[in-house]
Every structure is written in C-alpha cells, then in structure tokens.
C-alpha cells in the first residue's frame, strides 16, 4: 500500500520539488498552496496519484479546516510537510510587512501544525515536518519579523516533539533549517552557498526518510549555524 503525504506550499520552490520526489517514490501526494493555478500545473507533472487543494495560511481558521478536509479525503496521512511561508527585507520596519509575515509564518503555520499534530495523536503515529530557516537562530536587523517567525516555528516544532515523546507515541517531528535556496525567499546582496530547490529537496527527502528530528540544508550550513550561535551582538550587527 502506498504511503500518503501532504505538502503545504507545493506550488513552487522546495515544496514543488518535494512533491515531485515523493510522487516518484510511489507516495500518494496531497498538495496545497494559495495559487491554485500553479498547483494544477504541478499536479500534471507528478508521476503518481495526487490531490490538489487551495489553501491560504493568511486565513488560519480556514486553512486548518481545509487541512482536516484533505486528510479525510486521503483517508489518513503518513507525513505532513509545511513548506509555506513569506518573508521580506524590511529595514524601514514597515508594519504591514511585519504583520503579513507574522500572520502567515506564525499564526498560519501554528494553525495547520496544530491540526496535523492532533491528527497524528489520534492516529497514534505520523511524521510532521516544518521548513523553518537558518534565520531562526538569531534576530535579523534587516528582516526582524521573518527571523522571529522562524524561531517561533522551530520552538513550536520542538514543543510538539517533546509532547509526542512524553506520550511515548511513534510520532516524528522534524525541523528543517535551510540556508540560502534559489527561490523568491532568497533576497538581498551577498548571498552565498545558494542551493537549487532540487538539491535542497533531495536532501530534505533523505532527512525525512531517515526520520531525523533536525537538519540544516544544505549540510554545509551546520558550520554557519555554529558561528551564528556564538558570535557576539556587536559583530553580528556589522554583518
């Protein structure tokens, strides 16, 4: 029997490539995103069975209900990947950009992660994957809400992992923290070690298959993460 996966944010970038990879490994794939027309094009490219559902994390209550509907339509689910999110460079602290980022990356993410985890708790098993960011490690003066929202994601995922551990249930919770990936989210000057979405997705697929609880993507970003964790504020402010 084929395993089943839902990928939230599958219309482009990492989510789109993950849909292709899992479909190629005989998974039944549910794909969601805000842009339905792009989702439909993705579905045409998949080699296996797929179900398409429009979902906008800016409307968290509706998104949660739609995820519940999709889980029922697919008859249960093995893996849910949350790869949707937005981000802006916002040195002028424009409030709309900050609020939009929080609405999607914090409230929207938490709404569907909550639905996913409650389903896995009821089912007694499952695997929840959140695509956070290396930006979760420290605050970013050029994108305050973005880095803070990714820190929220990582901490929320950790809390859900600990909950499953306390309940002694075989539920895996994975926090993926990519560095720069060649998508619309990669903004600004001086980008380095920029991975293609295809390469990033291949490494994420392997992390999910191994049921790891955390990974930096690509793997070389472990070194940058170590630096971020120890660098003093005065030096970080100059970067």
**Three-state secondary structure call for residue 129:** strand
218 preceded by cis ω (within 30°)? yes
Q: Is 220 left (phi over 0), alpha (psi -120 to 50) or beta?
A: alpha
Give the pair of three-digit tokens for residue 200.
Answer: 């990033």
Extended strands (E) in the chain:
4-8, 28-33, 50-54, 79-82, 126-131, 171-178, 214-217
**Residue showing tokens 């979405």:** 197
Q: Any catalytic annotation for residue 146? A: yes
Give the pair of three-digit tokens for residue 163.
Answer: 């909950």
CA R_g for the chain: 17
Give the pair of three-digit tokens for residue 230.
Answer: 């120890």
**Three-state secondary structure call for residue 16:** helix
Query: How many whole angstroms separate alpha carbon 6 and alpha carbon 80?
Result: 5
**Given 27, 146, 156, 216, which residue is catalytic?**
146
**Residue showing tokens 């001086």:** 190
What is the set of active-site residues?
146
């Amino acid at each position: 029997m084929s395993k089943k996966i839902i990928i939230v944010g599958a219309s482009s970038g990492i989510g789109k490539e993950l849909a292709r990879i899992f479909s190629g490994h005989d998974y039944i794939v549910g794909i969601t995103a805000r842009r339905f027309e792009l989702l439909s094009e993705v579905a045409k490219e998949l080699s296996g069975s797929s179900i398409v559902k429009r979902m906008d994390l800016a409307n968290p209550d509706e998104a949660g209900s739609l995820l519940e509907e999709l889980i029922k339509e697919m008859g249960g689910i093995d893996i849910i990947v949350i790869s949707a999110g937005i981000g802006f460079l916002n040195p002028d602290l424009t409030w709309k950009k900050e609020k939009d980022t929080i609405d999607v990356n914090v409230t929207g993410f938490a709404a569907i992660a909550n639905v996913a985890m409650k389903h896995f708790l009821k089912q007694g098993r499952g695997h929840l994957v959140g695509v956070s960011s290396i930006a979760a490690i420290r605050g970013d003066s050029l994108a305050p809400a973005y880095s803070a929202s990714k820190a929220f994601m990582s901490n929320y995922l950790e809390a859900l992992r600990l909950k499953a551990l306390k309940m002694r249930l075989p539920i895996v919770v994975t926090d993926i923290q990519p560095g720069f990936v060649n998508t619309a989210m990669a903004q600004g000057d001086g980008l380095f070690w920029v991975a293609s979405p295809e390469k990033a997705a291949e490494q994420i697929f392997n992390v999910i298959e191994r049921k790891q609880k955390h990974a930096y993507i690509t793997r070389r970003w472990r070194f940058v993460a170590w630096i971020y964790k120890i660098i003093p504020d005065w030096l970080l402010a100059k970067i």
